[in-house]
Amino acid sequence: MRRWTSLPGGVKFLIGVGLLFLVLFVANSTLNRYVLHVIILIGIYSVATTSLNLTNGYTGLFSLGHAGFMAVGAYVATLLTFPVRLRIAYNLPLLPHFLGGPDYQWPFLPALIVGGLVAAVAALLVGAPVLRLRGHYLSVASLGFMVIITTLAKGLKDLTRGAAGIQAIPRYTDIWWVYAWLVVTIYVIWRLLNSSYGRAMLAIRESETAAQAQGIHPMRYKLLSFVIGAFFAGIAGGLYAHFARSIRPYEFSFYMTFHIVIMLIIGGAGTLLGPTVGAAIVVALKYVLKPVEEGLGIYGLVEIVYALMLIGVMLWRPEGIAGGVNPLRFLVARKGERR
């Protein structure tokens, strides 16, 4: 154990990734489709939650618009990869030629990345006016952004087919795509935190005034964390669309944001692997409770349990459930003390 802790972080990270993929390989070849389905969803939500963690857990900003950024990523990536043979039937030849036009579709990876980039640009536009104000404004403005996005997704029928949504999206997302992106997301955030950018962000979370006194320009770092967070949220959205194979505007609602928030809080905001732990708990719980909810006809049970968990954690264990018990403490450990 002592040897393990004395290894350099990069080596530990590589070993961790190796182990992860070994486990996934075994899982993929032994478990049934239903369980794999849950594992993939956990991975997608982990990407989303980890990206929210960058914005919320480390810089102390609270974005409630994460589902909005996921929607942007989902719709953009879907429009780009949409199959040629279905474009006419779905009225998508109206798309400009560089977006695929009627003749060709984009491969998955560039489509995902463009989806993430568009989400990042949207974050820049929303964040720039709002981030110079008190943190609360960001919460409400980003929530507003989400509403604007879902309303647009409903309204721009030529592009999104409105409330009916887009179906027959090719299923590109598989367990490897998802967990590769999760590794990338965690890696980027981990590197970021150990750079001068990361130290500046943590300083801002502790005290904005003190950070300013050290010559840190808070606005720049807040915007950066917000934009990078939105990028990975967009990626998660794209992964989700190519997994669920259909997207509708109302899916990217306040409830999706709430679920990501609760994963973050339960897993432990401000920890590197906490979001993944939180996503696993919350998604798994849903698959356990949903049959109970439907069997007994008590609709709302899952959300009530989630809400009680969230309130309970806030009141009695604000560091999250994963905060203290995770065997991978070196990755979960908080950077700096949170007040």
Partner 1 sequence: MFTGTYVAQQLLNGVVLGSMYALLALGMTVVYGILRLINFAHGALVTVGAFTFFGIFVALGWPFSLALAAALLVGGVMGLLLDLVGYRKLRGGPEVSLLITSLGIYILLENFIKLLATPQPYAFRPPAFLTQLHNVSGVAFRTVDIFIVIVSVLIMVAFAVFVKRTKLGIAMRATAESVEAAQLVGINVNHVVAVAFVLGSAVAAVTGFMWGAKYGQIAYDMGFMAGVKAFVAIVIGGIGSIPGAMIGGFVLGLVETLAVGFLPPGFAEYRDAIVFTLLILVLLFKPTGIMGRKEAV
Smallest distance, partner 1 to C-beta of residue 69, A:
15
Eight-state DSSP code of residue 215: T
Q: Which of 10, 318, 324, 336 binds partner 1 (CB under 8 A)?
A: 318
Q: How far is the CB of 57 from partner 1 (least distance, A)?
A: 10
Bridge partners for 247 per DSSP:
166
Q: Is 60 in the site for partner 1 (CB under 8 A)?
A: yes
Which residue in 67, 111, 141, 331 binds partner 1 (CB under 8 A)?
141
User: Judged by CB, which is closer to partner 1: 105, or 257?
Assistant: 257
100 token code pair: 């695929």
Instruction: Return the range that interacts with partner 1 (CB under 8 A); candidates 56-64, 175-183, 192-200, 275-283.
Output: 56-64
Minimum Å distance from CB 256 to partner 1?
A: 12
For partner 1, which residue of 4, 137, 187, 250 counts as binding (CB under 8 A)? 137
Stretch that binds partner 1, among 2-10, 116-124, 234-242, 298-306 (CB under 8 A): 298-306
User: What is the helix (H) or strand (E) element at residue 73, kind and residue range?
Assistant: helix 66-81
Distance CA 95, CA 124 (A): 25
Q: What is the DSSP string of 93-107?
A: GGS-GGGTTTT----
Task: Please answer whether residues 331 and 272 qualify as being in contact, where contact means their C-beta atoms are separated by less than 8 angstroms.
Answer: yes
Q: Could you say whether residue 133 binds partner 1 (CB under 8 A)? A: yes
62 binds partner 1 (CB under 8 A): yes
What are φ and ψ of residue 198, in 5° steps? -65, -45
Instruction: Report helix, strand or coil for 247.
Output: strand
- Residue 144 C-beta: closest distance to partner 1, Å: 3
**Count of residues binding partner 1 (CB under 8 A)?**
47
Rg (CA), the chain: 20
Report the nearest approach of partner 1 to the CB of residue 288 (Å). Answer: 17
State the Cα–Cα distance between residues 53 and 261, nearest whole angstrom: 9
CB-CB contact of 210 with 216 (8 Å): no
The answer to the question of residue 307 lying near partner 1 (CB under 8 A) is yes
Binding-residue pattern over the window 259 to 278 for partner 1, x denoting contact by CB under 8 A: --xx--x-------------
Per CB under 8 A, contacts with partner 1 among 98-127 are: 126
Taking the alpha carbons at both ends of the chain, their separation in whole angstroms is: 30
205/23 Cα distance (integer angstroms)? 35
> Nearest 5°: phi and psi at 69?
-65, -35
Name the residue nearer to partner 1 (CB basis): 178 or 269: 269
Torsion angle of C-alpha atoms 155, 158, 164, 166, degrees rounded to 10: -120
SS3 166: strand
Q: Is 168 in the site for partner 1 (CB under 8 A)?
A: no
The beta strand positions in 154-312, using DSSP E, are none
State which of residues 106, 197, 254, 330 lies at the interface with partner 1 (CB under 8 A).
254
- Contacting range for partner 1; rule: CB under 8 A; set: 38-46, 115-123, 143-151, 239-247: 143-151
289 is an interface residue for partner 1 by CB under 8 A: no
Q: Please answer whether residues 248 and 264 qualify as being in contact, where contact means their C-beta atoms are separated by less than 8 angstroms.
A: no
Give the nearest distance from C-beta 128 to partner 1 in angstroms.
8
Chain residues in the site for partner 1 (CB under 8 A): 56, 60, 62, 64, 126, 129-130, 132-137, 139-141, 143-145, 147-148, 151-152, 154-155, 208, 254, 258, 261-262, 265, 298-301, 303-304, 306-308, 310-311, 314-315, 318, 338-339
